[in-house]
Structure formats: structure tokens, C-alpha cells
Chain A
Amino acid sequence: GQQVMQIPQYQHVQEGEDFTTYCNSSTTLSNIQWYKQRPGGHPVFLIQLVKSGEVKKQKRLTFQFGEAKKNSSLHITATQTTDVGTYFCAGINTGTASKLTFGTGTRLQVTL
């Protein structure tokens, strides 16, 4: 079945440093979504990417979808303590309607 892997599993940064998490799918995706889960909370939808090579920005967050539509990345510039949480990518496999397969997640810790 489809597998979606994320690296790193965990990253600890100082506030102000940049952070990147990478997402790789074993199959081609029709789209990819990103979610953030704060400690003790539930996943919250951030963004969706659909087109090959697409890049979207949300303030300090930059999302990219690979040309082959099998990988994606989330980059945070100048992290803040409010960025703490686990970031999940989730892909919809071509032909499986709206069933998302989630990545394993990257837990981000930010300290002052």
C-alpha cells in the first residue's frame, strides 16, 4: 500500500533558526496537504498543494510540491515558540478519491 515518510522525526531548534521537514511518498499523489498538531491538540489543516512544482507561502511558512508529485517540503523561516508542534504531510493517492494517507510526522521543538 501507499507509504508516506517524513524526515526528520524530531528537530530541536533555537528560536530564530530555520526549520525544514521533508515528505516522500511511495506513489504519485494527486495532491498533498499539510497539518499542524500542537502538543495535546488535534491536527489542524494548513494548506493543500495540487500542481506539480507548486510553491505556496503562508507568512513564514513555505510549502513545495515536487515536480514528480511524490515529495513535498515545509520550510519555516525564523522559527518562533508558537511553531512548536508536530507537522504532518498527507497525500491523496491518484484514484483514491479523498482518502488521505498521513506521513509519520516531524515534531518541532523551539527554545529561546
Chain B
Amino acid sequence: DVKVTQSSRYLVKRTGEKVFLECVQDMDHENMFWYRQDPGLGLRLIYFSYDVKMKEKGDIPEGYSVSREKKERFSLILESASTNQTSMYLCASGALYGYTFGSGTRLTVV
């Protein structure tokens, strides 16, 4: 089974901090994705990557950046955390035949 591992289950950060969320997959998938999940809004795509060093903006990229230096690792960066970025962040890996999600990181910005 594909495993997608997110480095932290819970994080609390201060406003203005730079925040790194890490995601690693073990099945050599080319495609990786970052979503945020908020009540009533479903899952919204922040950024995705089709290959190493490739990235594309999703629907809500503002305030975020990403890094993909190795195929198995996709990092989400909050350049200057704000309280409206408090959310559940989900990383996914996969392709046309279904995504595998990590367990999520619940980020609280205070």
C-alpha cells in the first residue's frame, strides 16, 4: 500500500512565523498535492507538483509556497503565518486511479 506520511499531526505557530509542513510518499508517484480542509468548504487545492522541481498553483495558493527537491518529498511553506491559515492540511499522492492521503496536520496559528 502507498504510504503518505506527514511530519506533524498537530502544530501551533505564532502569527508571522515561517512554517514548513513536510510530506513524504513511498510509492514513486510523480504527482503530489497539498489541500486544506475547512468545515463547510471541503478540500481546496493549494499547490500540486507533477515532477521534481515542478509546481503549479491550485485554487488557493496565496500565502503559500511549495518545494519539491526530491520525488518522494513535497513541502508546503507558509511564508508568514496568519490566523486565517488555521486549518487542517492534507497531503496526497497519486494519479488517475485515486489519491492516497496522509493523516493530516492540524495547524493552529495564534
Set of chain A residues within 8 Å of B42, measured between Cβ atoms: 6, 88, 102-105
Q: Which of A9, A45, A101 lies in contact with B99, CB distance below 8 A?
A: A45
B90 within 8 A of A: yes
What B residues does A43 contact at CB under 8 A?
43, 90, 99, 101
Tell me whether B100 and A45 are in contact (CB under 8 A).
yes
Q: Are A104 and B99 also in contact (CB < 8 A) when A42-B90, A43-B90, A99-B48 are?
A: no
Total of A-B residue pairs, C-beta within 8 Å: 56
A1 to B59, CA, bound (A): 8
User: Contact: A42 with B103, CB < 8 Å?
Assistant: yes
Docked complex Cα distance between A35 and B33 (Å)? 16
Q: Chain B contact residues: over half helix, strand or loop, or mixed?
A: strand
Q: Which residue of A lies closest to B88 (CB)?
A: A42
A contact patch SS: strand
Partner of B41, one of A44, A45, A104: A104
Contact residues, A1-45 vs B (CB, 8 A): 1, 6, 9, 31, 33, 35, 41-45
Q: How far is the CB of B66 from chain A (nearest CB, A)?
A: 14
Contact yes or no, B96 A101, CB < 8 A: no
Looking at A33, A42, A101, the one whose CB has the most chain B CB atoms below 10 A away is: A42
Interface residues on A, range: 20 to 34
Most B-side CB within 10 Å, residue of A1, A48, A88, A102: A102
Q: Which residues of B contact A31 (CB under 8 A)?
A: 96
The smallest C-beta distance from B101 to any residue of chain A, in angstroms, reads 4
Are the C-beta atoms of B90 and A45 separated by less than 8 Å?
no
Q: Are B43 and A102 neighbours in the complex by a CB distance under 8 Å?
A: yes
* A92 to B: closest C-beta gap in Å: 7
Q: How far is the CA of A74 from the CA of B104 in the complex (A)?
A: 25
The answer to the question of B10 belonging to the interface, with a C-beta cut-off of 8 Å to chain A, is no
Given contacts A97-B50, A105-B42, A42 and B104 within 8 Å (CB-CB): yes
A-B contact pairs, 7 of them (CB 8 A): A33-B99, A41-B103, A43-B99, A45-B99, A92-B96, A104-B40, A104-B41
